Structure 1
Amino acid sequence: MKVFNCVCEFGHRFEGWFDSVESLDEQIKAHLVACPYCDTTNVKRVPTASYVLASRDKAKTEMSDRELEAEIRSKVYSAARTLLKDSENVGERFAEEARAVHQGKAPQRRIHGRCTVEEAEELLDEGIGVLPLPEGVVHENN
């Protein structure tokens, strides 16, 4: 297997493991390669020094479950904080404010706040995109 660098239309860089450059190019053309960050299939291969992972190097790349969980948690929190940047905290009024923004009754802007699971499901059913964030991501200064 060879590792190739790819980038999506939104600038997310990621690696892909493929049998060959031809295989990668075919899969990109067929929209079978998706960005792991935003799921778009509009990706392209970028110049890279491809390499093959030798079996003796495998032990160096293996992570414990705890290390992997910590790395994923760190990336999720980082992505969530990026989403929160420059957004308005509407607190407990989140569901009603999200509806008002969606219906054009309130100014278009990024908001965050709190709502129940039932309220979030109702918003999704109404076509209003919401994204639950892990506890501890939102702070009073966000």
Structure 2
Amino acid sequence: MIHYDLRCTAGHDFDGWFKDSAAYEKQAKAGFVECPVCGSTEVSKQLMAPAIPKKGRSRAKETPPPVPATPPAPPPGDAPAAAGPMPAQVLALLQRMRSEVEKNCDYVGKDFAEEARKMHRGESDRRGIYGEASDTDAASLQEEGIEVARLPWVPRADG
């Protein structure tokens, strides 16, 4: 994993973890790297100091574990009181995203990790899928080079 300090054109700084520099370039070019504050996809890497391990210690011990770009949604009722309601524009955007996913992808439920592996190995036709996966399954898929993303799942706009 490689860690980058990133900045959007509005000046918001944030961290990003990627499989390698090529993965960053591919995701940034496709518009998948976006500022968590304003949503801008115009993002650039910032100057960083290299992570050099201390003598006698391995680099693996010093590199923090990767943090998913989108944390899993908390169970209902666990949101902090200060969080307040979701802004209407954000809710509308997430509802449109859900609609597009449901329209263009196949729901595979709890078989998500298994189906993603089948497609990766060529045992199943490649297509868009969505479903449920544990944090452990999602991390395993990423370690195997299978791209996955967690999406906040909001109620449908029509219901």
Query: What is the TM-score when the length of structure 1 is the normalising length?
Result: 0.47
Query: What is the TM-score when the length of structure 2 is the normalising length?
Result: 0.42
